[in-house]
Each structure stands twice: as C-alpha cells, then as structure tokens.
C-alpha cells in the first residue's frame, strides 16, 4: 500500500505536468471505487489546476471552484502521459488536458478514491479530524507524549492512528520503533516524554529519507510503462522477518498487530 512518502513523491512527480494546465475533459470509466465517483467531477471541465497539495495520504488538486481529492488505496497509481497512449486495464479515471496530456488513475483493487470537495469543504468532513502532518512544525515535541497519557494501546497502533499523527503507516512505524529500540507491543502510556520527543525526531527522519530515495523515480510518473507510486528503499526491519538484524545479526522476529505485520529485533531493544 502506498504510504505518505510514496504519495508525496507522487505529488512531486505530477505537479510540474498538471499545475496551470486546463481540463478539457473528465473521463470516468468505472465509478465504483471505495466510494462512488461523484458526478460533480464534471465541473472541472474548463478549469485549471492551481496547485497539488497532500494531506496525509490524500492528493488534493486545487481548482478555483473546489478540490479534487484522490487516494491511491492499496494498489492505485497515477501517471501523466500523452493522451494517445492506449487505455490499460483498470484505468478507471482520467483528466484530459488541453495540451494533449492526460492524468490517469489505475487501480486494480479499486480501494482508491476520487472525490469532489466544494470550496472550503476540506476544512470539514473527511479531512477535518486528521492529526498533524509529521513533517510539519505542528508535529512538535510533547505532542505525542500528551496524546499518549493513560493510553494502553500498543505504541505501534498508537502511531498508526491518524488522529494522533497522519501518515505513519505500517512500514515507517516499524522502522521508527526499531531505530529507537522500542518493542512494537509496548503500551503507549509507558514511554517517557524524552523518548517521545526522540521518537518525533526519528519519525521525521525516516519519512524524509524515504521521500529523498523516492525522488529518483519522479520520471516514472510520465512514462507509459513506468510503475509510479512505489520505489525501492533501504529498510531495517519491515519485510525482513527471519533475516539477520543489520545492527546485531540477531534473527528478526514477526508478530501480528491489528492484522498488520510487526517486525522487530529481540536484541536491539530498550523497552
């Protein structure tokens, strides 16, 4: 599943090709995604993309009349390509621009979303209850510590709750906890303020590093045969269960938490 760094790289990849571009046509080939694609998306014909933002894992294409919200779900990818490129299986939605390019959403599992938000509507509803962006100044020292007081949920579950902080998905929660030597089963309320402040720094570091690594794939967003939205990363624990820890060579262990894989080193731990 694309996580925050993949979505941010997607934003960086498509922005130069869609901003200030006028929509000539909106094509919906399959409206049945996670939620039905609303007919309001047809309002975009004749409007220009003003900017491309990101909130959590949502891409927000801003227009003067409102915002087009896109979510990649578990398998979605977005490309900006020439409109002569043949339509592929699972190309469910596209914006055709007057310069001859097209932005296509491909989503085999159809867990993604295409929604329309009227002007200022993103200040309420779907986006209004999200926590702070982890790479913003709003994600500051003491924030996690205060939210964690008296919480008995596992720290990994706590970090993946979008009400506490957005975009720290399964991959990066695994990585951040390993780097600080915290067991993913540790109760959120047991960690000290000092450790939470250090965890805040590490979350910023692992997400920033992932975005930087993904920068090498920006060209994929304009290639018909590319695989945009995903990129190879150097990970310490995620996906490496049963392999040797890169720090101490101990065998990495795996448990299930909330139907997600948690991988950790039984030796490199402090809690």
Kindly name the residue from 3, 6, 94, 175 that is annotated as catalytic. 3
Burial profile 203-239: b = 16 or more Cβ within 10 angstroms, e = fewer = beebbeebbeebeebbebbbeeeeebbbbebebbbbe
Q: Is 54 a catalytic residue?
A: no
Strand partners, 25: 96
- The answer for residues whose C-beta is within 8 angstroms of residue 200's C-beta and 6 or more apart is 139, 140, 141, 143, 144
Q: Is 55 a catalytic residue?
A: no
Q: Is 79 a catalytic residue?
A: no
Kindly name the residue from 2, 5, 134, 228 that is annotated as catalytic. 2
Is 120 assigned to a binding site?
no
Q: Is 3 a catalytic residue?
A: yes
DSSP states of 88-126: PTTEEEEEEETTSEEEEEE-TT---EEEEEETTGGGSGG
Is 240 assigned to a binding site?
no
Kindly name the residue from 25, 110, 260, 269 that is annotated as catalytic. 260
Is 29 assigned to a binding site?
no
Kindly name the residue from 8, 11, 54, 57 that is annotated as catalytic. 57
So which residues are the catalytic ones? Answer: 2-3, 57, 260
**What residues form the annotated binding site?**
90, 109, 151
**What residues form the annotated binding site for DNA?**
90, 109, 151
């Amino acid at each position: 599943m694309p996580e925050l760094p993949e979505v941010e790289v997607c934003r960086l990849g498509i922005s130069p090709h869609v901003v200030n571009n006028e929509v000539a046509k909106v094509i919906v080939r399959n409206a049945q995604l996670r939620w039905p694609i609303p007919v309001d998306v047809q309002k975009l014909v004749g409007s220009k993309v003003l900017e491309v933002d990101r909130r959590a894992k949502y891409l927000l294409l801003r227009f003067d009349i409102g915002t087009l919200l896109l979510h990649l779900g578990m398998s979605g990818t977005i490309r900006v390509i020439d409109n002569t490129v043949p339509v592929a299986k699972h190309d469910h939605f596209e914006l055709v621009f007057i310069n001859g390019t097209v932005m296509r959403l491909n989503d085999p599992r159809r867990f993604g979303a295409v929604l329309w938000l009227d002007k200022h509507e993103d200040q309420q509803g779907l986006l209004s209850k999200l926590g702070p962006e982890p790479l913003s100044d709003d994600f500051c020292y003491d924030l996690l510590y205060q939210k964690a007081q008296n919480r008995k949920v596992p720290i990994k579950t706590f970090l993946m709750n979008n009400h506490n902080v957005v975009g720290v998905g399964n991959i990066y929660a695994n990585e951040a906890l390993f780097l600080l030597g915290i067991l993913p089963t540790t109760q959120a309320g047991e960690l000290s303020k000092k450790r939470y402040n250090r965890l805040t720094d590490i979350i910023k570091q692992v997400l920033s590093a992932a975005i930087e690594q993904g920068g090498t794939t920006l060209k994929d967003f304009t290639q018909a045969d590319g695989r945009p939205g995903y990129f190879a990363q150097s990970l310490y624990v995620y996906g490496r269960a049963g392999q040797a820890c890169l720090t101490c060579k101990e065998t990495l262990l795996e448990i299930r938490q909330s139907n997600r894989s948690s991988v950790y080193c039984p030796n490199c731990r402090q809690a």
